[in-house]
Amino acid sequence: MNDASRGWRHLFDVYFISLCSHGAARMVVRDNPGFLKLFLVMRGSTLPKILPQVLVIMAIGMLVAELHRYFPRLFPAYSTAPFTLLGISLSLFLGFRNNACYDRWWEARRHWGQLLIDSRSLMRQANAFLDLDTPRGRELQRRFGYLVIAFAHAMRHRLRGTDAWPEIAGRLDEADRRLLEGYSNLPTGILQLIGQTLGVCLKEGRLSDILIRDMDQTVSSMSRSLGACERIHSTPVPFAYMLLLHRTAYLYCFLLPWGLVGTLGLATPVVCGIIAYTFFGLDRLSEELGAPFGLEANALPLDAISRTIEINVLEALGEPVPPPLEPQDHILL
């Protein structure tokens, strides 16, 4: 097998892997559609978002094929070796970028999973160590629970740049709302309130200093999850790196028909469309995974995770719980 054949086989492997991975992220919730339907699935795929670009490349390929058909002398005998080498290099760099973006997505998911664990742990500690037979014990337990719920929702809204007050105001009393109005970072302010509540428990002798230390470690873990997610949110993939790959992918796909038409003839538009789908699809998928807190189909389902935390806390408080969020058209927000 010569170098050109190896190159095209590598490109086909990259295409097939990307085709199977589109919509495979965790937030596209659906059963395996089967081999045939897999090629027709649109919801969760990047194809609807890159279809105009792919059609443009196919149109260019069709134009070049027709020109080659009627004016063959206008086209010198290009070798496909340069396009093969450039395609291999481009696919490798796109793969590296995809891995980097997936690492961001997975790290964000781990920290939200840790927040879910910490919220359960804090409520378990409050239920186990506070005297729930007294009105004051029940009041402190409820305060811990409501603050945890408010923290989860406030953290989600901060990462998405939306207003958290309509969702958390009902979980806070008037004094807490006045205090939090002075914070530009609402989740940090809510952690301060949880810490103050721990201090009240210590002063009133309702929890020993050892138990306070253990619960404070749980709160500190919540703070670390917030800080890690803020770091991911405020430190995007370097723009120059993304711009270079984006431009190179478009330039490669625009030039590809001219290099393939002498070999493929009228099949040029189809092959160019497949390759364009691969490169543009990987580029688009990387953008979605690189912003894990957004609202794209492959972003994290922060609404569903926040609702799960709320359900767990309210169950621990013995209060009515809202229903869990269900996927809408195979997408879980």
pLDDT at 265: 86
Task: Express the helix, strand and coil content of the chain in percent, nearest 5 each.
Answer: 75, 0, 25
> Three-state SS for 117?
helix
Both tokens assigned to 327 = 């996927």
11 close to 297: Cβ distance less than 8 angstroms:
no
CA atoms within 13 A on the CB side of 250: 10
Q: Which residues are registered as beta bridge partners of 214? A: none
Residue 163 to residues 156, 158, 166, Cα–Cα distance (Å) = 10, 8, 7
Which DSSP string do the residues of 150-166 spell out, in sequence order? Answer: HHHHHHHHHHHT---HH
pLDDT at 186: 96
Both tokens assigned to 111 = 């920290």
Question: How many CB atoms are closer than 10 A to CB 127?
Answer: 16
pLDDT at 49: 85
pLDDT at 225: 97
pLDDT at 16: 36
Question: How many CB atoms are closer than 10 A to CB 36?
Answer: 7
- d(CA 125, CA 123) in angstroms, rounded, equals 5
Burial 201-239 (b: 16+ CB within 10 A, else e): bbeeebbeeebbeebeebbebbbebbebbbebbeeebee
pLDDT at 21: 36
Residue 56 to residues 29, 215, 253, 257, Cα–Cα distance (Å) = 31, 59, 10, 12
Give me the average pLDDT of each 10-residue run along the chain (333 residues): 44 38 44 59 73 93 90 74 83 87 95 97 95 94 96 96 94 93 94 96 94 96 97 90 86 89 88 91 89 88 95 96 83 72
Closest of 160, 139, 147 to residue 188, by C-alpha: 147
Task: Name the amino acid, one letter, at 50.
Answer: I
Q: Which residues are registered as beta bridge partners of 28? A: 331
229 close to 108: Cβ distance less than 8 angstroms:
yes
288 close to 16: Cβ distance less than 8 angstroms:
no
